[in-house]
């Protein structure tokens, strides 16, 4: 019999994440939520501290609301990052107040509802451009031919990155966010991963520096111009700017890509749900998009660190420096909150999923943008290819952080 805490050990087994299907993941998290919702996972030699795996919706919600007790500034990845990597990663996602609110206020200007409304046309035209180029053979890898391209082109356009850098950016963000997968970093030794991630980050920083210089000389209507033009005291330091840029190109494309692909896969496996949605796309879109986000949970977890001794969560008391990990993927299938959580239901309402994190200071800055992209993309996709469907099974990313689909073959009747 597996011991109470050992049941949670698979959470750090990347092969388990890549090789197990949804049913097995669900069974494991159901058992953890029921029997040991705050399991301790010991990290042995790699990081003796270990972490508490919080799997219930209520705990994830509460911890996210209490940044003074559960901080992000010590890192939001399970494993502490080597110093060299922390130079490049982090930005607002790994900050606490007062820095967090200062920087978030500055960067949020590029993501107000007003600036988003102005990019609706860009999302529509980019979607159509990508659909026009879908292979005429009526069969392709959906990830390469659609899901990767849309969010990447939108975030690049918003940041003001010219199209010629698309392949480079994709390679770099795949390396950074897919670091535990040998398809992206063949040398999976600790040094091999650190080298590859450092190089990818340096490539991105070089690109940003060149663009910033260019925008100082010739400002345009994009986020980089806005940030470099901000007044003294109301702007980012060059290092904050570089980290923000890396966060945005990664967060802006590696997440929405997976929501799109998981969505197409789920709709193919649940054709009655797809038909019900397509019968009146716009009426069902608001609930259908939220259900895809819940179902996909593109970000599997985030970490927090306990800020002082005696922090309490329910009947549990934590000590300073202990790590707690918020398993969004589990919270989003918690039957204390969701009726029939393992049923994919495009009419689910209410749907208080935590795919974008829980309400709190770090709630996803790109949530409105992601919803806009998903809404426009699914409508255009299924209007153009009503019989679009997945063929076979997806190839999953080897990761316990990004619920990534690397490849998904689809077929459709070309138009
Ligand atoms: C379906 C797509 C997306 C999902 C599932 C997602 C999910 C998340 C999650 C779980 C967090 C962490 C919340 C926390 O720690 O409490 C987060 C933070 C963040 N996301 Fe997203 N995200 C998505 C799309 C985007 C996009 C398109 C952008 C870029 C425009 C973006 C930018 C950010 C940023 C900047 C943060 C850090 C916010 C902060 O710490 O203040 N995300 N996202």
Please tell me the number of Cα atoms within 13 Å of 275 on its side-chain side.
4
CB contact set of 162 (below 8 Å; sequence gap of 6+): 156
Task: List, for residues 318-344, the tens digit of each pLDDT value.
Answer: 999 999 999 999 999 999 999 999 999
Tell me how far apart the alpha carbons of residues 323 and 50 are, in angstroms, rounded to a whole number. Answer: 7
Q: Taking the domain 4-404, which CATH number applies?
A: 1.10.630.10
User: Cα separation of 180 and 400, whole Å?
Assistant: 9
The residues facing 22 across adjacent strands are none
For residue 158, which atom of ligand 1 is closest to its CA?
Answer: 30
User: Which residues contact ligand 1 via a Cβ below 6 A?
Assistant: 64, 92-93, 104, 155, 247-248, 251-252, 255-256, 259, 298-299, 302, 328, 355-357, 360, 362-366, 369-370
Section 204-231 average pLDDT: 82
CA 258 – CA 114 distance, rounded (Å) = 26
Cβ count near 158 (within 10 Å): 22
Whole-number Å distance, alpha carbon 249 to ligand 1 midpoint, is: 11
Q: CA 370, 72, 207: angle at the middle one, nearest 5?
A: 55
pLDDT (mean) for 209-230: 81
* Average pLDDT of the residues in 260-286: 98
Q: Which residue has the tokens 């690397």?
A: 406
Phi, psi of 141 (to 5 degrees): -85, 115
Q: What is the spatial distance between Cα 72 and Cα 305, in angstroms, rounded to a whole number? A: 6
**Which residue's CA is minimally distant from atom 1 of ligand 1?**
256
pLDDT at residue 244 tops 70: yes
Q: What are the pLDDT digits (tens) for 343-353? A: 999 999 999 99
What is the pLDDT at residue 227? Answer: 79
Which residue owns the Cα nearest ligand 1 atom 32?
366
- What mean pLDDT comes out for the span 100-107? 89
Residue 83 confidence (pLDDT) above 70? no
Backbone angles phi, psi at 404, to 5 degrees: -95, 145
The pLDDT of residue 311 is 98
Which atom of ligand 1 has the smallest separation from the CA of 298?
Answer: 5
Mutate to test the pocket of ligand 1, among 73, 107, 364 (most ligand atoms within 8 A of CB): 364
Instruction: Kindly report each contact of residues 234-238 with a partner whose C-beta sits within 8 Å and lies 24 or more positions away, as own/partner.
Output: 234/106, 235/106, 236/103, 236/106, 236/107
> Between helices 271-279 and 281-296, what is the axis angle to 10°?
140
Percent of the chain exceeding pLDDT 90 equals: 72
Across the range 267-274, mean pLDDT stands at 98
Cα(263)–Cα(256) distance, rounded to whole angstroms? Answer: 10
Q: For residues 333 and 348, give the distance between their C-alpha atoms in angstroms, rounded to a whole number.
A: 13
Whose Cα sits closest to atom 21 in ligand 1?
364
Whose C-alpha lies nearest to ligand 1, atom 18? 364
The atom number, within ligand 1, closest to the CA of 95 reads 40
Q: What pLDDT is attached to residue 190?
A: 87
Ligand 1, atom 34, residue with closest C-alpha: 365
Radius of gyration of the chain (CA): 21
Q: Work out the pLDDT band at 266, boundaries 50, 70, 90.
A: very high
Of 340, 316, 342, the closest CA to residue 329 belongs to: 342
Between the CA of 251 and the centroid of ligand 1 the distance, in Å, is 6
Q: What are phi and psi of 22, to 5 degrees?
A: -60, -40
Preceding peptide of 99 cis, ω within 30° = no
The DSSP output letter for 135 is: -
Ligand 1 pocket: which of 156, 299, 366, 399 to mutate (most atoms within 8 A of CB) = 366
pLDDT band at 1 (very low <50, low <70, confident <90, very high): very low
91 contacts 246 by C-beta, under 8 angstroms: yes
| pTM, entire model | 0.95
> How would you class 14 by CB atoms within 10 Å of its CB: exposed for 0-12, middle for 13-18, buried for 19 or more?
middle
- pLDDT, tens digit, 9 for 90 and up, residues 91-103: 899 999 999 998 8
Instruction: Between 233 and 203, name the one with better pLDDT.
Output: 203
Count the helix, strand and coil residues of the chain and give each as a percent rounded to the nearest 5.
Answer: 55, 10, 35
* Domain extent listing, the chain: 4-404
Q: Which segment of 98-107, 297-306, 350-359 scores lowest on mean pLDDT? A: 98-107
Could you report how far apart the first and last alpha carbons of the chain are, in Å? 55
Report which of residues 328 and 117 the model is more confident about.
328
Q: What is the mean pLDDT of residues 29-41?
A: 96
Residue of 204, 157, 213, 153 whose CA lies nearest to 176: 204
């Amino acid at each position: 019999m597996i011991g109470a805490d050992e049941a949670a050990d698979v959470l750090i087994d990347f092969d388990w994440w890549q090789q197990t299907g949804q049913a097995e993941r669900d069974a494991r998290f159901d058992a953890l939520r029921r029997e040991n919702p705050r399991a301790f996972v010991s990290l042995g030699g790699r990081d003796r501290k270990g972490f508490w795996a919080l799997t219930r919706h209520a705990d994830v919600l509460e911890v996210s609301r209490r940044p003074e007790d559960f901080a992000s500034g010590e890192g939001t990845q399970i494993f502490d990052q080597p110093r060299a990597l922390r130079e490049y990663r982090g930005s607002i996602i790994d900050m606490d107040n007062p820095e967090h609110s200062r920087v978030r206020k500055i960067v949020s200007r590029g993501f107000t509802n007003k600036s988003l409304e102005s990019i609706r046309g860009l999302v529509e035209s980019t979607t159509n451009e990508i659909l026009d180029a879908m292979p005429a053979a009526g069969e392709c890898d959906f990830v390469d031919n659609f899901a990767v391209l849309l969010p990447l082109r939108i975030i690049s356009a918003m940041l003001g990155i010219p199209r010629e850098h698309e392949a480079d950016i994709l390679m770099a963000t795949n390396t950074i966010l897919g670091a535990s997968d040998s398809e992206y970093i063949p040398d999976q030794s600790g040094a091999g991963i650190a080298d590859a991630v450092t190089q990818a980050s340096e490539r991105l920083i070089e690109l940003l520096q060149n663009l910033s210089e260019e925008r100082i000389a010739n400002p345009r209507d994009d986020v980089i111009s806005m940030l470099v033009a901000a007044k003294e005291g109301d702007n980012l330091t060059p290092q904050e700017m570089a980290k923000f840029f890396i966060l945005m190109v990664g967060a802006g494309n590696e997440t929405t890509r997976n929501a799109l692909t998981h969505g197409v896969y789920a709709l193919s496996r649940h054709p009655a749900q797809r038909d019900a949605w397509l019968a009146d796309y716009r009426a069902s879109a608001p609930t259908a998009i939220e259900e895809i986000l819940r179902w996909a949970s593109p970000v599997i977890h985030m970490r927090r660190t306990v800020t002082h001794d005696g922090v309490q969560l329910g009947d549990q008391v934590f000590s300073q420096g202990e790590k707690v990990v918020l398993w969004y993927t589990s919270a989003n299938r918690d039957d204390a909150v969701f009726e029939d959580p393992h049923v994919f239901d495009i009419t689910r309402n209410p749907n208080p999923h935590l795919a974008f994190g829980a309400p709190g200071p770090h709630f996803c800055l790109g949530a409105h943008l992601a919803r806009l992209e998903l809404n426009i993309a699914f409508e255009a996709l299924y209007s153009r290819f009503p019989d679009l469907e997945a063929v076979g099974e997806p190839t999953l990313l080897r990761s316990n952080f990004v619920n990534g689909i690397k490849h998904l073959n689809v077929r459709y009747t070309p138009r």
